[in-house]
Amino acid sequence: MITSVPDASETISGLSPQSAVLDIGCFGWRLAEVCALHGHSLIGLDRAEPPGRPANAGFAAMSGPQLHLDDDAGHLTVASHVLEHIDQPVAFFAELVRVTAPGGLIWIEAPSELSAMPRASDDASDQAFISFWDDPTHVRPWTPAALYRLALSCQCLPIACGRALTGAIHVSRMLARKPLGLQGRPPVTYVSLADVAPGLEAAWRAVWPSQPDALKLIAQGS
């Protein structure tokens, strides 16, 4: 398992020409410039359309974990600092997989458990943002292992999981791939990996023994 995950812009730069990028939680349209630079189309999704939509971008709505977009719509789906606000993470990740084309990528970043360790200010009126829990809409932080299990629970291959710093925020990141043979919504199962040998191949065979073909992506270095 690769523990160093490239940032979203670097991942976009490595896509095939004229790919479709989906930006879940698109306030600020942060991915528009890099998508335009590489000739990719961009669809942003959020609860309401943010102001300033770029000329090269489209928009679709989301409500809770549901994404109002067709199946298999994007070659790369990006969800940056959205997962920590979602109270149905498995349903949400299944939606990320659903809207990603077979063989496509999912890039996700969320504050890690380390972001919850600093003590919050005793004076709330100083308006400092120190702890993960200073945001009243945060539900839970995420470890790399939790992201890894989340992908496996939705029949998706986690190909890189690790830690990073975004500004001063400790985050967990994952790059995952939707299996080539999976179209639309994935099946979902509970994942514990208790008593399973280390390694992605062992985990996949334990969770999805009837779907061994997806392991070819591992052999190909994906």
Residue 216's pLDDT band (cuts 50, 70, 90)? confident
Residue 1 falls inside a structural domain? no
Residues in the chain: 222
Q: What are the start-end ranges of the H helices in the chain?
A: 8-13, 32-37, 89-99, 144-153, 200-207, 216-219
DSSP string, 99-120: HEEEEEEEEEEEE-GGGG-SPP
Tell me if residue 46 falls in helix, strand or coil: strand
| Phi, then psi, of 83 in degrees rounded to 5 | -60, -35
3-state helix, strand, coil in the chain (%, to 5): 30, 25, 45
CA dihedral of 87, 88, 90, 94, whole degrees rounded to 10 = -120
CATH number at residue 33: 3.40.50.150
* Number of domains observed in the structure of the chain: 1
Could you tell me the residue range of the domain that residue 45 belongs to? Answer: 8-116+128-190
Residue 31's pLDDT band (cuts 50, 70, 90)? very high
Give residue-wise pLDDT tens across range 54-86. Answer: 998 999 999 989 999 999 999 999 999 999 999
Residue 204 falls inside a structural domain? no
- Buried (b) or exposed (e) across 71-94, using 16+ Cβ within 10 A? ebbbbbbbbbbbbbebeebbebbb
Residue 201 falls inside a structural domain? no
**What's the confidence (pLDDT) of residue 220?**
57
Give the predicted TM-score (pTM) of the model: 0.95
Indicate the DSSP class of residue 132. Answer: G
Q: How many CB atoms sit inside 10 A of residue 61's CB?
A: 13
Residue 222's pLDDT band (cuts 50, 70, 90)? low
Residue 220 falls inside a structural domain? no
**What's the confidence (pLDDT) of residue 138?**
98
Provide CB contacts within 8 A for 46, sequence distance 6+.
24, 25, 26, 27, 59, 61, 62
**What's the confidence (pLDDT) of residue 219?**
53
Residue 208 falls inside a structural domain? no
**What's the confidence (pLDDT) of residue 221?**
52
**What's the confidence (pLDDT) of residue 217?**
66
Give residue-wise pLDDT tens across range 97-130. Answer: 999 999 999 999 999 999 999 999 999 999 999 9
Sign (positive/negative) of CA torsion 175, 93, 55, 19? positive
**What's the confidence (pLDDT) of residue 105?**
97
Residue 213 falls inside a structural domain? no
Asked if residue 175 has pLDDT above 60, the reply is: yes
Residue 219 falls inside a structural domain? no
**What's the confidence (pLDDT) of residue 79?**
98
Give residue-wise pLDDT tens across range 198-209. Answer: 999 999 999 999
Residue 179 falls inside a structural domain? yes
